[in-house]
Amino acid sequence: MNSDYSHSGSDYSSNEEYSGYHAYLAANLPDNDGKILCPCGCNRRRAVRTTYEHLQKLRNIQSATGSGSNRATGSDRSDYVAGDAARGGEGMPDVEMCVDEEPDLPMHYDEEEDILPPDPAEDWRDVPTPPPSPPPLALDADEEVSDNEDGYMNVTADDYREYDRWFADDRAAELDEFLCETITEEELDSIKMMAIRQFGHISIRNYERIRYSFRDKVFLLTLQRLGTRIAGLSGIKPETYDCCVNVCHAFTGDFSEETVCSTCREQRYDELGRSRQTFQYIPTIGRFLAMFNNPAFVEKLEYRDKYVQHEGHINDFFDSELYKNLCQKNIVINGEDLGVKYFSGKYDIATTLLANGVQIFKQENATCWPIMLQILNLPPRERSQVRNVIPLCVIPGPSQPKDFNSFLEPFVLECLTFARGVKAFNSRTGRDFTLRHHPVLVGGDMQAIKHLEEMKGVGAKVPCRGCESNAIYHSAKRTYYIPLAAPLSTDNPGTSTAAYNPLDLPNRTEERMKRQMRKMEKATPREYEELAKRYGISGPTILDRIPSLQRPTSYPHEFLHLFLLNHIPDLITIWIGKHPSVPTAGCKDYLISQEDWEAIGLETEVATKNIPSYFSRKLPNIQSEWRLFCGESWSFWVLYIGPIVLRERLPKKYYKHFMELVSIIKCLIQFENTTERIKQLQVDIAGYVERYEEYYYQYNYNRICVCKLTVHALLHVAEEVIRCGPVWVFWSYLTERYCREIIACARQRALPFATVAKYVLQMSQLTSVSMRFHEVRKALLFGSSDAPVDTSAMEKVYADYPETILRFPRLPGFRMQPNMRKRAAAFLRTNVNLHQDFDAWMEYLPKHCERWGKVCLGEGGDCIRCACARNPSSAQGNRDNSFVKFEYEQDRNRYNGRDADMVKKIGYGRLDCILALTLPPNADFGVASPQLHVLAQITVAKDAEGDASVELVSYTKFGKTIILDVTSIKCAVGRIETKAKNRRGEWVIIDRDDSLCRTAFTQDKQDYEGDD
């Protein structure tokens, strides 16, 4: 057969060349990396095959340039190779060509072009013959070539399997997973910048400016590429569902086959067959699995498993009756008993379902409904962070949904899957396990819970979701109100009236509500409406399909909206005579005069200057701007400001009643509580509500409008704490912060709800990516308290004072004034060495020391700015936090001449400065080595005696100046000047009790950027 492939070129057909190359390889075996030193003299290491091809190309070049005289004959070549082989393989055929004489190469020759593929031939017949593979290595004398030898001696079956694993077509998913596990430095920088942009609300325009301005120093991907990369890394793919254009319901479940909305008759699709409105649900399974990629986060999730229950205490959800009862039950799904108890696994997750309505534009009626999960397995400090929220979806607006159940269908289906168990991998233990997730609580304001629980709610005949108390219809207001006692008859005021016992209300139960629902399901449409009105139930809720949720057990009343945003503002409007529904009839001796109310507003506004900023944000004038108060402001005013400014201004009877409310709120927000105390609280609340009706309702039909549902709901709070845990477990501060992020991102007015959905999706994706890459999680930190730095260069922690952090400004070499030296000497003589007299101590004290301007009291303690470092005229000095609470010992017998009897006392005063002085070694004073003392100079508030956290403590002027050890300072305090009791004015101490849970979740105010 005669063809281009029937023979090889002369350079490749020489058996002598093969044998010479084989001899060279036998003498110079490849290293571990499979490479040998090229014999041409270039001193490069190449693979065996590459070396052979390189030598062949050099021969071709030599032939083309007419250097044939340097070629040796076959016999000479064989002799040369044999000689080289005999000398240990130092030579190679034609090596002398490169060593002794440089070949004549064509002009513009580039050696790197040798590795480039040749130009494609115009016809397949012109395709040159490929070079043969290099000859195999010589076998040892005792080895034989097998009959089936194919030339690939080092390729094994494992190599084929590895190749198939990575490059087979059915392994595309594994290739994607491999790509998700790898990330470049440029991508990491871009993702961190995206996280900063996401939570810092940086506009697209400004992001592009940053990319352009720093393009020479850092490479940032475009937002479009970032979005694609984040989606791949996180593995989160949203599920998009159609919904009615008027947001009546989502086309899921029973509505999935509809093409026309059954409520408003609007078309589901437009003329092109596209959905007119959609909503986006973000699956939770992938996000929960991603959490176990972070060992540090997994350790935090062990909080539930490690939590220690104490009998009679209720300090978290895991002390509640609901949790304890669930732990004793088996998981039952649609009648199928799985044989597994709730929370039997170490990492089983408990969550709270949270919902709220958000008006995204201030002057427009555009409301959306964010729905999210809060992870109860995390420690309390971590579960309240926005970065740990699990967003589920945002129901678009602008209208309120008619059927919430349809929007929750995907979530319920996922919960049923999770209840059966999902296989997960724990990076902390390196083992697979079965992960289960159980929603246990549902939280939100009254409107949100009304829709989620499918109750009639406000304005219904049976409005309360906790009991079946009947409301009383007010014909003029055309709505229902729910007092404990019915109004007295106007014809016979002395007669008694029917009333509910506040300690024995007709409470709803799970079994009773199930029986009522079964009865409603069997009724006719007309009977259904009558039963719904009688029971106060709108219908079945899809959340009942989740086995860990039950009505009404899992739906507690929420503290923020119940107390702070409803009841307290209503109470104040009654005091100032501006309640819109209270007529002039009846006793009105509870009114505060206009003059006193103006004084209260002014004192509230001025008090901000003398209250540390971490106590509360700036308080507006409650008389003129009280509607600017938020939940945090109301909480601080009621607990600390109100009891001071209302003294002698609110009549004594009503002031005492108000202080009962203060006591109730303080008890509810305690970090630690007991079951016995909560049961007593239930009695206290019942008495408070009864006196509220007596003082303000007065059993007058025309005043019944003060008995709103928010007043009646107070009666259920104590029993819900025992059933579901402390109020801070399910209050809405986290929800409000999350909604604040939603409002901030909705700057695009054309498609605001699509913008919100995109923002929530990217928040979820970034959170999942941050679980895998720790550097990204650092970019999600919100405050300086979360910064991963113990102390900065502006701080100092001495070994002898590990719980005290001293901060700049610092004045080294500070020379103490004579009076300051006397105070320091008196303190040190008393606490270090009493054997030396005062004069000796004055001589011994060093003349210079360090003076510090700020001090931080331990981890998470108060930061105090000394008076010497405060400049009232500066922007940073308009909040005075130099007042402190301190402890000292006092001789009880200091005036009667008896033996000393030292007792601990509490005092208050102004911290002037912090002194750090070192005593030199001196045997006479008992100082063997240099001894450091950090001292605090305090100007005492005269006659400010007692504990201001439990009683009112006031002063009118300062007293003496003393020096104490810095550890005597316990915390910072505020103060407010008032003329309520003393017309010449007095200062009252505001001592924030550390046993109370903080109702202040402050964030730095920032201007949000919008994308035009």
User: What residue ranges do the domains of the chain occupy?
Assistant: 15-140, 235-452+734-786, 455-486+507-540, 795-972
Taking alpha carbons only, the member of 557, 552, 455 closest to residue 512 is: 552
CB 349 within 8 A of CB 439: no
Element (DSSP H or E) covering residue 224: helix 223-234
Q: Both ends of the chain: CA-CA distance in Å?
A: 75
Q: Residue 700 pLDDT more than 70?
A: yes
Provide the token pair at 281.
Answer: 């649900």
Element (DSSP H or E) covering residue 744: helix 733-745
In this structure, the number of other CB atoms found within 10 A of the CB of residue 927 comes to 16
pLDDT attached to residue 641: 95
pLDDT attached to residue 959: 93
Taking alpha carbons only, the member of 301, 279, 280, 281 closest to residue 289 is: 301
pLDDT attached to residue 168: 54
Mean pLDDT of 539-543: 93
pLDDT attached to residue 8: 37
pLDDT attached to residue 40: 77
Taking alpha carbons only, the member of 234, 358, 269, 405 closest to residue 761 is: 234
Average pLDDT of the chain is 82
Share of the chain above pLDDT 70, in %: 78
- Residue 847 CA to residue 869 CA, distance in Å, equals 22
In this structure, the number of other CB atoms found within 10 A of the CB of residue 862 comes to 21
Classified as helix, coil or strand, 437 is: strand
pLDDT tens profile 94-105: 444 443 444 444
- Residue 699 CA to residue 696 CA, distance in Å, equals 9
Mean pLDDT of 998-1002: 46
- Residue 280 CA to residue 254 CA, distance in Å, equals 19
Tell me the pLDDT band of 528, cut-offs 50, 70 and 90. Answer: very high
Question: Which residues, including other chains, have CB under 8 Å from residue 446's CB and lie 6 or more apart?
Answer: 457, 458, 558, 561, 562, 709, 710
- Residue 456 CA to residue 40 CA, distance in Å, equals 93
pLDDT attached to residue 490: 62
Taking alpha carbons only, the member of 991, 996, 972 closest to residue 861 is: 972
- Residue 540 CA to residue 528 CA, distance in Å, equals 12
Task: Say which range, 18-22, 642-646, 874-878, has the weakest mean pLDDT.
Answer: 18-22
Q: Residue 63 pLDDT more than 80?
A: no
Taking alpha carbons only, the member of 338, 314, 451 closest to residue 395 is: 451
Share of the chain above pLDDT 90, in %: 47
pLDDT attached to residue 390: 94
Question: Which residues, including other chains, have CB under 8 Å from residue 864's CB and lie 6 or more apart?
Answer: 854, 855, 856, 857, 881, 882, 884, 911, 969, 972
pLDDT attached to residue 651: 92
Q: Residue 317 pLDDT more than 90?
A: yes
Mean pLDDT of 696-712: 92
User: Alpha carbon of 537 to those of 407, 525, 720: distances in Å?
Assistant: 20, 14, 20
pLDDT attached to residue 125: 57
Mean pLDDT of 872-888: 83
CB 933 within 8 A of CB 845: no
State the burial class of residue 131 (Cβ atoms within 10 Å of its Cβ: 0-12, 13-18, 19+). middle
Mean pLDDT of 364-368: 71
Q: Residue 82 pLDDT more than 50?
A: no
- Residue 53 CA to residue 62 CA, distance in Å, equals 14
Q: Residue 877 pLDDT more than 80?
A: no
pLDDT tens profile 180-210: 556 788 888 888 888 888 878 888 888 899 8
Residue at 266: amino acid letter:
E
Residue at 11: amino acid letter:
D
In this structure, the number of other CB atoms found within 10 A of the CB of residue 337 comes to 10
- Residue 136 CA to residue 146 CA, distance in Å, equals 14
Q: Residue 943 pLDDT more than 70?
A: yes
DSSP string, 535-561: HTB-S--GGGGSTT--TTTT-PPPHII
pTM attached to this predicted model: 0.77
pLDDT attached to residue 277: 92
Task: Say which range, 205-209, 230-234, 744-748, has the weakest mean pLDDT.
Answer: 744-748
Tell me the pLDDT band of 759, cut-offs 50, 70 and 90. Answer: confident
pLDDT tens profile 243-295: 999 999 999 998 999 999 999 999 999 998 999 999 999 999 999 999 998 89
| Phi–psi pair at 721, nearest 5 degrees | -65, -45
Look up tokens 């899992």; give the residue: 554
pLDDT tens profile 820-845: 999 999 888 888 877 788 888 899 99
In this structure, the number of other CB atoms found within 10 A of the CB of residue 36 comes to 18
Q: Residue 1 pLDDT more than 60?
A: no
CB 351 within 8 A of CB 374: yes
CB 728 within 8 A of CB 380: yes
Mean pLDDT of 492-504: 73
